[in-house]
Structure 1
Amino acid sequence: MKTTRYCFACDLKDDQQLIAEYDAYHKAVWPEILKSIKDAGISDMEIYRCGNRLFMIMETTPEYNPERKKQMDLSNPKVQEWENLMWNYQQALPFANPGEKWIAMKQIFKLAN
Structure 2
Amino acid sequence: MPRHSLLFDLVDEPAAIAEYESWHRPGNVPGPVLASIPAAGIVEMEIHRLGNRLMMLCETTDAFDPAAKAAADAADPDAMAGKALMSQFQRPVPGAPAGKKWAAPQPIFRLTDHPGHTPA
Deviation for aligned residue 1:63: 2.0
CA shift digits 1:58-89 (9 cap, x unpaired): 00002211111111010001000000110110
Partner of 2:51: 51
The residue matched to 1:104 in structure 2 has which SS?
Answer: coil
Matched, 1:38 2:15: no
After superposing on structure 2, the runs of 4+ consecutive aligned residues of structure 1 that deviate more than 4 Å are none
Task: Give 1:97's aligned residue.
Answer: 97
- Partner amino acid for 1:57? L
State the superposition RMSD in angstroms. 1.0
**8 Å Cα contact 2:97-2:103 kept in structure 1:** no
Q: What pairs up with 1:57-68 in 2 under 5 angstroms?
A: 57-68=57-68
Give secondary structure in 2 for the equivalent of 1:73: helix
The residue identity in structure 2 corresponding to 1:38 is: P
2:106 is the counterpart of 1:106: yes
- Give me the TM-score of the superposition, normalised by structure 1: 0.93
- The residue type equivalent to 1:103 in the other structure is A
TM-score by length of 2: 0.88
Q: Which has the higher strand share?
A: 1
Distance 2:106 2:29 in 1: 27
Question: Where does structure 1 lack aligned partners over 5 or more consecutive residues?
Answer: none
Count of residue correspondences = 111
SS of 1:103's partner is coil
The one-letter amino acid paired with 1:81 is A
In the alignment, residue 35 of structure 1 is paired with which amino acid?
Answer: A
SS of 2:108's equivalent in the other structure is coil
Rg: which structure is higher? 2
Of 8, 11, 20, 1:10 maps to 8
In structure 2, the residue matched to 1:26 is: 24
Query: How many Å separate the matches in 2 of 1:85 and 1:20?
Result: 14
Residue 94 (structure 1) shift: 2.5
After TM superposition, give the deviation of residue 107 of structure 1 in Å.
Answer: 1.1
Query: What's the CA shift for 1:44?
Result: 0.4
